[in-house]
């Protein structure tokens, strides 16, 4: 069994994102492209985000810090610390409304 501090990981990546020209930093800490389940911590500095992209499978966004907005097909949802957003099965984007850290969980379609 492995133990991981999401708080420490968020802190590290928020620092890295603040220094990055893209205003973001990420790390897949469980699974990966060769697995069905993948969990990635993504840190975003306010005003930065993930541009519109297709949904690769079932996905959720767990907001650890800050506030984000998920947009999909004309609908949008805001998430704050400790909120879980279910990503719709259509193209979507994510924007940091504040400096934020999220955990993106994806289960790829077979």
For 40-74, how does the pLDDT look when each residue is reduced to its tens digit (9 = 90+)? 999 999 999 999 988 878 999 999 999 999 999 89
Q: Has residue 53 been placed in a domain?
A: yes
Q: Has residue 1 been placed in a domain?
A: no
Element (H, E) at 14: helix 6-19
The answer on pLDDT for 110 being more than 70 is no
Specify whether the CB–CB gap between 101 and 26 falls below 8 A: no
Q: Has residue 103 been placed in a domain?
A: yes
Domain of residue 30 covers 6-108
pLDDT-based confidence at residue 35 (cuts at 50, 70, 90): confident
Question: How many domains is the chain built from?
Answer: 1
Q: Has residue 94 been placed in a domain?
A: yes
Give the whole-angstrom CA distance, residue 51 versus residue 69. 12
CB burial of residue 14 (10 Å; 0-12, 13-18, 19+): buried
């Amino acid at each position: 069994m492995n133990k991981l501090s999401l708080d420490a990981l968020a802190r590290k990546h928020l620092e890295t994102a603040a220094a990055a020209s893209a205003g973001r930093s990420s790390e897949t800490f469980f699974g990966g492209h060769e697995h069905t389940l993948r969990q990635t911590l993504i840190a975003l500095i306010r005003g930065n985000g993930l541009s519109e992209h297709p949904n690769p499978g079932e996905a959720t966004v767990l907001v650890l810090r800050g506030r984000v907005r998920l947009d999909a097909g004309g609908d949008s949802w805001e998430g704050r610390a400790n909120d879980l957003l279910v990503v719709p099965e259509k193209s979507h984007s994510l924007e940091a409304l504040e400096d934020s850290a999220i955990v993106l969980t994806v289960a790829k379609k077979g």
